[in-house]
Chain A
Amino acid sequence: MSDAENPDGASEFREDEPTDSAEEFEPIEVFPESESMDLRPGSDDCYKCSTCDTSCPVAAVDDEFPGPKFQGPEQWRLKRKDDRDIDESVMSCSNCMRCDSACPSDVPLSQMHNTARGSFVDEQMDKLSREYVRNRILSNYRTLAALGSKVPRLTNFVMGLGVTKLFNEKVLGITSEREFPEFATETFREWWEKRGGPNVERDDKRVAYFHGCYSNYNTPEVGKAMVRVFEAFGYEVLVPPQKCSGTPMFANGMLDDAERAAETNVAELAAAIEGGADVIASCTSCSLSLRQEYPELFDFEGTASVAANTYEALEYLRVHEDLEGALADAEVDDAAFAYHAPCHARNQGLDGQAVELLDALEGANAEDVGDSCSGISGTYGWKEEKYDVSMEIGAEMFDHMEAADAETGLTECPTCAMQMEHGTGYEIRHPLQVIEEAVVGADAA
């Protein structure tokens, strides 16, 4: 638990230097007292085609949500300096970021939503409201998880109790329909320390692993698979101290929390990059956060370097190693999967990757269950009032999973995996685990 031992400097929140970007076309802090960015110039790119609206999974099922075009460029453009009211519907955006990939004209939609949501939470949301408290708890899953995983068996037991779920739903507004993810009895970092760190050491092939919260506390087998696969390709793996990537915080407008976490992450990862490493993530929301949301929302030293040097695990191997060749030489037994591409993987252009890779692997097959959103969008589907919408969005994926010729699910995103499991009862795996079986061997785990 190195980061728990590390009394982080992040709490000493640093006031931003006055931005010095007059020559740049960059959003800047325009309303100093509210610390919000002026994204009105982002509306310059919008030509009103509404493509973003057609790709929004929330607008498709939630009649109160007006869609990303209104929520983004239109709302921003209508704003005057003294206008403070953000339409509350911004809280219904699940931050799936599909609008970003949809827009044919480069409008910074999710950045607009994230920023508007941040202002809404800061200025218009009652800090004592149940919704605020609940969102704060959900977005700080890592804090919860860090506590819970100290006594995982007890926590798992308590979280599973009906009375706990009732409390969560009635008092906090966390749906009782979902099973809380189980905490692993040994976290990834505990395993890593016990193992004594890396098995391979070399300075010309080095990666820093951003495992994120979920691989650490809940599915350490994914993290272990990452380590073993990369070591099999001759990489030295570093595991720097890290905090939550911020994904759940962005989605809930908790930008201060996100900024504190990001500051630590950027500092640690930038240092690793200085030391010759590239950054690897196994969770596609974590990699998206490091690559896109950090540079859009924060301006720490090293942010751009981290963004430019971060990769999803398999993407990295595909570019730098002959991964498909290695898979073509391997074989696994009877591995058929119903694969769902997470929205955040889609956003990084990775939605076809798992299917393409498993195509090359004898015995394996991944059937893409379509381009719909799983509907959970991180913390969104955990909210009592969003649960039904979340399941409605997911319905198409569930149907396609059932129709696929496979009884196991496959995805890169831990919360998509929860939703897939919740909707179908399938066991869900991460592509890294399949690759591990192929290139390291089934007995390695």
Chain B
Amino acid sequence: MAIEDDVAVVGGGIAGMTAALAAAREGATVRVISHKDSTLRSASGLVDVLGYPPRSGGSSGDSDASESPAGDAGPLADPFEAIPDLPEDHPYTAVGLEGVRAALSLFDEAVDGYRGGHTDRNALVPTHGGTVKPTARYPASVAPGLASDPRETLLVGFETVTDFDAPLAADHLRAAGVPFEVRGVTVRFPGAFRADARVTRLADALDADERLEAGDDPSGVSTSLPARGALAAVVKPRLGDAERVGFPAVLGRHETPSIRADLEAELGAAVFEVPTGPPSLPGMRLEGALRGACRDAGVRFTTGDPVAGYETGADGEIAALRVERNGAAIPFHAESVVLATGGLVGKGVDSDRESVREPVFDCHVPHPADRYEWFDDDAFGDHAFARFGVATDGDLRPLDARGDPEHANLRAAGGVLGGYDFAAEKSGAGVSLATGRAAGRAAARQVSDS
């Protein structure tokens, strides 16, 4: 009777899907229950592990102790060296250095098309804001653009892709001291697209290699060309001596490798993407890849409705999740549950004027009582809100206000965890992978033990 699985994962982002994958590989039957599309679609698609050490202020929220990190601490060349020194309440501490490495191995093996596994070193990737950022794994489409690679570079922007201004980004990269020549040009994307055509639309045109209006040829006859060739034709005259060409991330939803190959063949230069977003095509591709890996591992997905409540068993453990569909509550039974609903952006952490809460299980979320202590006065200051989330024990079980596990069979992973500022540290995907894997494995093992 009813719908039963060994492990239910609430939330379908990187952390949730990694937890599901890890649990399924332990032999559990697993269901991912997710309400909405994940925030991966807004994220860059890079897998950051640790780009900068946490601010010295740590979780105290004392802004005086944490002034201006940019000046004194450059990016970490080796993230793994720094992990053992992280504070006690950092999620990496719960999983340990080996947990992080194992999660990256799982990722490298399950997701095709990512690079960076050949070294422990971080890579510096050009950003659409014109600077560089440290990351540990990056899509193959980003690889030729790394800032430590000295090849001369041309950045190409499009008039209507307003998040990436290539000439400005080129000047900015120069100001950031990159070790290569870089120029930027703005061109019109071929074809007769409207000014508000979305990047996904341009990506679809390249995916399908649609024939696009290429303007009038010298004799005045209007011609059309396949999208990839037309794009290369626009860029080629501006190539100069550049050995690689960077575009905003619009090179297809699905066919990125062949689009790049075609452009490279036409241009005679390496082609790469500069991650842009939102919406982020690299993020969407990563979502698709993780989903595929989960499906292959037998994970089931139930999407579109929120978990609005739960039922508990005799010992206070979670017995079933109640998924709400317009007032009807559909029970989903599971023996072990992973909470991976994300942070403030993913709505795994919610707030009102008075307090901060975790809406699914109402887990305790430590936070200052006065909301004027939730933020710093500088836009990039040491924000307490950035570290909002549940605190856990070493087994990733969320703790209540007294420090006891909320439920014996509930674990948390990813953005819903507190104690780290993924944006400042550049550790978002890494924490999601590492805690997702650990929570998923532990959940599955709890089932097989019982």
Do chains A and B interact in one complex?
Answer: yes
Mark interface residues in B282-300 (1 if CB within 8 Å of A CB, else 0).
0010000000000000001
Among A51, A295, A308, A318, max chain B CB count under 10 A is at: A51
Which residues between 334 and 353 of chain A lie within 8 Å of chain B, taking CB atoms? 346-349, 351-352
- CB pair B331 A53 closer than 8 Å: no
Please, could you name 24 A-B residue pairs with CB atoms under 8 Å apart, sorted by A? A49-B279, A51-B37, A51-B278, A51-B279, A53-B198, A53-B200, A54-B41, A59-B201, A63-B193, A63-B194, A70-B196, A101-B304, A104-B38, A104-B347, A291-B328, A304-B327, A308-B328, A318-B3, A319-B331, A347-B304, A348-B304, A349-B325, A351-B301, A351-B304
**A60 near B42 (CB under 8 angstroms)?**
no
Q: Does A155 contact B (CB under 8 A)?
A: no
The 0/1 profile, CB within 8 Å of A marked 1, for residues 22-38 of chain B is: 00000000000000111
Tell me if B279 and A54 are in contact (CB < 8 A): yes
Q: Is the C-beta of A102 less than 8 angstroms from some C-beta in chain B?
A: yes
* B→A interface (CB under 8 Å): 1-3, 36-39, 41-42, 193-194, 196-198, 200-201, 204, 278-279, 284, 300-305, 323, 325-328, 330-331, 345-347
A126: CB under 8 A from chain B?
A: no
A309 in contact with B39 (CB, 8 Å): no
Residues of the B chain whose Cβ atoms lie less than 8 Å from the Cβ of A102: 36-37
Task: Knowing A51-B37, A349-B304, say if A319 contacts B327 (CB, 8 Å).
Answer: no
User: Are the C-beta atoms of B327 and A308 separated by less than 8 Å?
Assistant: yes
Cα distance A70–B197 in the bound complex, in angstroms: 12
Closest 8 CB pairs of A and B: A308-B327, A291-B326, A349-B304, A50-B279, A349-B305, A101-B304, A102-B37, A307-B326
Q: Quick check: is A234 within 8 A (CB to CB) of the other chain?
A: no
**Bound form: Cα–Cα A186–B345 in Å:** 53
Q: Which of A48, A66, A101, A351 contacts B37 (CB 8 A)?
A: A101
* Identity of the chain B residue whose Cβ is nearest the Cβ of A392 in the assembled complex: B208
Separation of A325 and B200 alpha carbons in the complex (Å): 43
- Is the CB of A322 closer than 8 A to any CB of chain B? yes
Do B41 and A49 touch (CB < 8 A)?
yes
- Pair B330/A319 contact, Cβ less than 8 Å: yes
Q: Flag whether A64 is at the interface (Cβ < 8 A).
A: yes
Residues of B contacting A163 with CB < 8 Å? none
A1 beta carbon closer than 8 Å to chain B: no
Contact A310 B328 (CB under 8 A): yes
Q: A59-B200, A63-B193 are in contact. Are A308 and B326 (CB under 8 A)?
A: yes
How far apart are the CA atoms of A117 and B388 in the complex, in Å?
40
Asked if residues B198 and A50 are in contact (CB atoms below 8 Å), the reply is yes
Interchain CB contact under 8 A, B325 and A63: no
Q: How far is the CA of A72 from the CA of B442 in the complex (A)?
A: 42
In the complex, the answer to whether A50 meets B39 with C-beta atoms within 8 Å is no
Known: A67-B198, A103-B37. A309 touches B42 (CB 8 A): no
Q: In the complex, how many angstroms separate the beta carbon of B116 from the nearest chain A beta carbon?
A: 25
- Give the docked Cα–Cα distance between A320 and B350 (Å): 33
B residues in contact with A349, CB < 8 Å: 302-305, 323, 325, 330
Question: Which residue of B2, B198, B284, B323 contacts A318 across the interface (Cβ within 8 Å)?
Answer: B2
In the assembled complex, the Cα of A105 lies from the Cα of B345 at a distance in Å of 8
Contacts of A322 in B (CB 8 A): 1
Interface centre among B196, B204, B278 (most CB of A within 10 A): B278
- Flag if A54 contacts B200 (CB, 8 Å): yes
Given A104-B37, A319-B3, A60 and B204 contact (CB-CB distance below 8 Å): yes
Of residues 99 to 115 in A, which have CB atoms within 8 Å of B's CB atoms?
Answer: 100-106
Residues of B within 8 A of A125 (CB): none
Q: Closest residue of chain B to A311, judged by CB? A: B328
- Is B198 within 8 A of A59, CB to CB? yes
Q: Mark A43-55, 1 if CB is under 8 A from B, else 0.
A: 0000111110111
Cβ distance A61 to chain B, nearest Cβ, rounded Å: 7
Select from chain B the residue with minimum beta-carbon distance to A294: B326
How near does chain B come to A294, taking the closest CB pair, in angstroms? 9
**A67 to chain B: which residues have CB within 8 Å?**
198
Q: Which residues of A contact B201 (CB under 8 A)?
A: 59-60, 63
By a CB distance below 8 angstroms, the chain B residues around A321 are: 1
The complex places the Cα of A72 from the Cα of B193 at a distance, in Å, of: 22
Q: Is the CB of B39 within 8 A of A49?
A: yes
Contact of A295 among B42, B323, B326, B330 (CB under 8 A): B326
A331 to B42, CA, bound (A): 45
Distance, CA A309 to CA B301, complexed state (A): 23
Interface status of A179 (Cβ within 8 A of chain B): no
* Cβ–Cβ < 8 Å partners of B279 in chain A: 49-51, 53-54
Q: What residues of A have a CB within 8 angstroms of the CB of B42 in the complex? A: 49-51
Residues of A347-361 whose CB lies within 8 A of B: 347-349, 351-352, 356
Chain A residue with Cβ nearest B1: A322
Question: Complex formed: what's the CA distance from A312 to B232 in Å?
Answer: 50
What are the residues of chain A within 8 A of B1 when measuring CB–CB?
A: 320-322, 325
What is the minimal beta-carbon distance from A381 to any residue of chain B, in angstroms? 19
13 more contacts with CB within 8 A, not counting A51-B278, A53-B200, A349-B302, are: A50-B278, A51-B36, A51-B37, A54-B198, A60-B200, A60-B204, A104-B347, A291-B325, A304-B327, A307-B328, A309-B328, A319-B2, A351-B303
- Chain B residue nearest to A305 (CB atoms) is B327
| Complex alpha-carbon distance, A106 and B346, angstroms | 11
Are B304 and A352 touching (Cβ within 8 A)? no
**A307 vs B325: C-alpha distance when bound (angstroms):** 9
B328 proximity list for chain A (CB < 8 A): 291, 307-311
CA distance A54 to B201 in the complex (A): 9
Interface pair A64/B194, CB less than 8 Å apart:
yes
List chain B residues, Cβ under 8 A from A348: 304-305, 325
Q: Which residue of A lies closest to B3 (CB)?
A: A318
Residues of A contacting B196 with CB < 8 Å? 66, 70
| Residue-wise interface mask of A (346-387) relative to B, using a CB-CB cutoff of 8 A (1 in contact, 0 not) | 111101100010000000000000000000000000000000
Q: Is A315 an interface residue (CB 8 A)?
A: yes
Q: How far is the CA of A353 from the CA of B2 in the complex (A)?
A: 12
Interface hub of A48, A60, A102, A106 (most chain B Cβ within 10 A): A60
* Residues of B close to A356: CB separation below 8 A: 300
- Please, how many angstroms separate the alpha-carbon atoms of A292 and B327 in the complex? 10
| Of B37, B194, B323, B347, the contact of A55 (CB 8 Å cutoff) | B37
Closest CB-CB distance, B14 to chain A, in whole Å? 14
Q: How far is the CB of B289 from chain A (nearest CB, A)?
A: 14
Asked if B303 contacts A346 (CB within 8 A), the reply is yes
Tell me the A39-94 residues at the B interface (CB within 8 Å).
47-51, 53-55, 59-61, 63-64, 66-67, 70
Q: Are A54 and B284 neighbours in the complex by a CB distance under 8 Å?
A: yes
Query: Which A residues touch B38, using CB under 8 A?
Result: 104
Please give, as numbers and ranges, the residues of chain B lying within 8 Å of A292 by CB-CB distance. 326
If A63-B197, A348-B304 touch, whether A103 touches B326 (CB-CB below 8 Å) is no
B304 engages A346 (CB within 8 Å):
yes
Question: How far, in Å, is B209 (CB) from chain A's closest CB?
Answer: 14
- Closest CB in chain B relative to A319 CB, distance in Å: 6
When C-beta atoms are compared, the residue in chain A nearest to B2 turns out to be A319
CB closest residue in chain A, given B299 = A352
What is the 8 Å Cβ interface bit string for chain A, positions 22-35, against chain B (1 contact, 0 not)? 00000000000000
Question: What separation, in Å, do the CA atoms of A321 and B2 have in the docked complex?
Answer: 7
Q: Which residue of A lies closest to B301 (CB)?
A: A352
Instruction: Give Cα A8 to B347, complex, Å.
Output: 45
Assembled-state Cα–Cα distance A322/B197 (Å): 49
User: B304 touching A49 by the CB < 8 A rule?
Assistant: no
* Complex Cα–Cα for A352 and B299 (A): 11
Distance between Cα atoms of A155 and B64 in the complex (Å): 81
Among A309, A319, A322, residue most surrounded by chain B Cβ atoms (within 10 Å): A319
Tell me, in angstroms, the Cα distance from A318 to B5 when the chains sit together.
13
Closest Cβ–Cβ distance, residue B188 to chain A (whole Å): 15
| Distance to closest chain B CB from A144 (angstroms) | 30
A318–B331 CA distance with the chains assembled, in angstroms: 10
Minimum distance in angstroms from B10 CB to a CB of chain A: 13
Instruction: Tell me, in angstroms, the Cα distance from A308 to B330 when the chains sit together.
Output: 11
A residues less than 8 Å from B300 (CB atoms): 352, 356
Q: Are A105 and B347 neighbours in the complex by a CB distance under 8 Å?
A: yes
Residues of B within 8 A of A295 (CB): 326
